[in-house]
Amino acid sequence: MEEILYKSTRNSSLRLSASKAILKGLSEDGGLFMPTAIPKLDIPLSELKSMDYREVAYEVMKLYFSDFTEDELKHCIASAYDEKFDTESIVELVYANGAYYLELFHGATIAFKDMALSILPHLMITAARKNDIDNDIVILTATSGDTGKAALAGFDSVPGTKIIVFYPKGGVSFIQERQMVTQTGLNTCVIGIKGNFDDAQTAVKNLFADKELRETLDKKGYQFSSANSINIGRLIPQIVYYVYSYVKLLAEGKIAEGEKINITVPTGNFGNILAAYMAKRMGLPVDRLICASNENKVLYDFFSTGVYDRNRDFKLTNSPSMDILISSNLERLIYLATGEDDKKNIELMTSLKENGRYDISADMKAFMDDFYAGFASDENTLAQIGRLYDDTGYVLDTHTAVASYVYDEYRKKTGDDTKTVIASTASPYKFTPNVLKAIDKENVTGDAFDMVDRLCELSGVKVPRAVEEIKSAKIMHDKVVEVKDMKAAVCDFLK
């Protein structure tokens, strides 16, 4: 099997093994790692359909992580996808009102980030051993709500690692924040910032690019890596669940082998839908990739006009994990659309940094024809939750509701009745007040945990362990800093 190496979107001549790219997280030139080729699935779909989630995960990941031995990779997969998930199948596929909802929230922190962040620590520790790394690995990440807790849970007490998570104070849900600030583990640090997610993400990228800081850390026995989806070790495991959803539909007789499906994804940082795109490039029979945005509709505008422009008001919405104006993973698609021209990509990314916008060529826009974009307002989102609950009894979280609304609008506009999988990215219990507002607006009373109990009554869905655990958990992290003080906060935690 051909070894897949990794190059930077800002330096096509760079070549790193998968394990080294996972350890670095972000290239020192500021670029994101991309495989030298997107491999094709080498197992027929007719064989994949008889496999469980772990087996499908191996067949996908072995193609990308080619310097991991079979035993190493299977150990990482078995360690990740175990009893932490509340369903043996790891994910569930539920039909409701004309679409198949791919429930990605059955892990320890009840959000789709568990799907990749359960395996990343194991990949990272294996990679460190393979490369004789003696330094402690410092995971530095920004979160819009879900990545932070999933990363904290994954790296909690893992030997040889420390993890620092920055989140926008006031920009995440009550449950999201409580999950993070009650995190145990001497190697964990959670810090709120006085700013939004884009502020946190930009500052984290700048810390990665800080050569002086990097040298100081090295002398102290530390090196940075990332748990955001900018890390290729996060992105590749996300491909798995799209492949699994297809072969699950195939196994259940819902589709014929080779029949194309559409995939709809609620999107902020663009990593989750990029994984679906990579699954398509691997040969999965996928037609349209429907990119669903909330009122921070920078991606909708980009796919509609070919202009990426973050020069707009930042809106706090009822789908906070998507409150993003700088979609970092889009750089990977841009790089592919340039024909993997690193100089052209640098030009566009420099324009984004200096001017807050860039324009793509007609050829690049045509390259992205697989994508359809739509957006939902806060009102649309709540109405969609209420509508689906009234019609079917099925309850969506606010992010999945954005995707559900955009898909319904797409179907009305196009008449396209292709079978469609919608990525369901979080449990409704993570966003209980807004979900209750949509389905039982007369009884949105009491504190957040009273609302959890009321949602349980209405939905008949058991309250997840992740929510029960934080009801009485002690606050472990209460630090809040200005954006300009993030570097000092990192140094302080690392002594």
> Which residues belong to the active site?
113
Distance in angstroms (rounded) separating the CA atoms of residues 21 and 366: 30
Report H helices in 159-284.
Answer: 174-181, 197-208, 211-219, 232-251, 271-281
What's at 31, amino acid-wise? Answer: G
Q: For residue 421, what is the DSSP state?
A: E
Question: Alpha-carbon Rg of the chain, whole angstroms?
Answer: 21
Residue with tokens 């800080």: 210
Q: Is 221 left (phi over 0), alpha (psi -120 to 50) or beta?
A: left
Q: Taking a C-beta distance cutoff of 8 angstroms, is the pair 133, 223 a contact?
A: yes
What's at 125, amino acid-wise? Answer: I
- Residue 290, beta-bridge partner list: 264, 372
Q: Is 323 left (phi over 0), alpha (psi -120 to 50) or beta?
A: beta
The CA-based angle 195-224-10, given to 5 degrees, is 85
Of the candidates 132, 133, 150, the one whose C-alpha atom is nearest the C-alpha of residue 141 is 150
HSE-up (13 A, CA, CB side) for residue 358: 20
